[in-house]
Amino acid sequence: MIVQRPRDSVGRVCVIGGTGAVGQSLIPLLSQSKHWQTTYYAANDHQHCRLLASFQDHLTNALTVSNAVDSILDADTVILLAGERTSSGGSKDGLFEANRSIAHQYLPYLNGKNLLVVSNPCTRLARHLQQRLDAFVVGVGVQNDYNRIRYQCPTVEFIIGAHNLNELQLFDKQSRCLFDGFSNHATYQTTRSLQDELIGRGENAALRAQLTRPDILRWWRLQRFHTLANTSAHACARAVAQWLDTFASNLDELIHGEVMVQPQGRPAVFLGVPLKSGKLYCPTEIVEHFLDQNKGYVDRYAS
């Protein structure tokens, strides 16, 4: 099974976007790194001003901001943050169309690079961009999920799937499936509807009980509420920084990413998988079984 590998040089980083929650949470992580030089690309003067103010608030002189597309062209690695944010009741198709349109503005500048896709729906958008670029494209959503899941449930060893609860499977160290999002759609719908009802009615005691119920979906309930109620995105920013650290250390650490995978005798598919030293961290048979089980996933994310 062949997994696409990153480009070698990663010393210069450009962030496209960055005035939202992920970009703000990323500033201190990027400021502290000795591995790369980072420029935030601002599409207009308003974004430029907001970023300068953010750098001051974080008391950092380690980052720069530029309105010139040369900052993208000169970078080895590009982090795509620009786009609309996920909303509680919004359509994922609508979100994809909006953020695809934004991403397409930057296609002429992205060939030959490592491209970290954060804008949602990141698995679908990253797959779309990979089809149009000669670049290493990775979606960071599954690593973001992994950070949250491991915080709540350390028995989860790795994840396979997309950055979408309905398209994820969680596994323990013995490669046993602990949660299958494909077969738990009813649980997802019920949990989502209940959370929305409790928030809408202001029933905060019941909401707290629901959010803190000790089961394997606790991470997802808390994160969904966090996205609605708060303004930080540290777990996602950390996933980006983890990928940059992985580039710098030659992929020696366990990392998850949605990347192009070529199974033997099958079409290539864009899939979130665990990686270490540039290779699959989990048994190949687990990935093949995942693809056999979930034909709809293959249809949606095939190259």
Number of Cα atoms under 13 Å in the Cβ half of residue 296? 6
Res 44: pLDDT: 95
Topology given in CATH for the domain delimited by 2-141: Rossmann fold (3.40.50)
How many whole angstroms separate alpha carbon 228 and alpha carbon 235? 15
Res 87: pLDDT: 65
Res 90: pLDDT: 65
Mean pLDDT by 10 residues, the chain (303 residues): 78 93 94 89 96 96 96 96 76 89 96 95 94 96 97 97 95 96 87 93 96 94 91 94 84 89 91 92 96 94 88
How far out from the chain centre does Cα 156 lie? Answer: 18
Give one DSSP letter per residue of 210-246, joined into a string: HHT--STTHHHHHHHHHHHH----HHHHHHHHHHHHH
How far out from the chain centre does Cα 283 lie? Answer: 23
Tell me the three state secondary structure of residue 148: helix
Res 93: pLDDT: 86
Residues 6 or more apart whose Cβ sits within 8 Å of residue 98? 83, 84
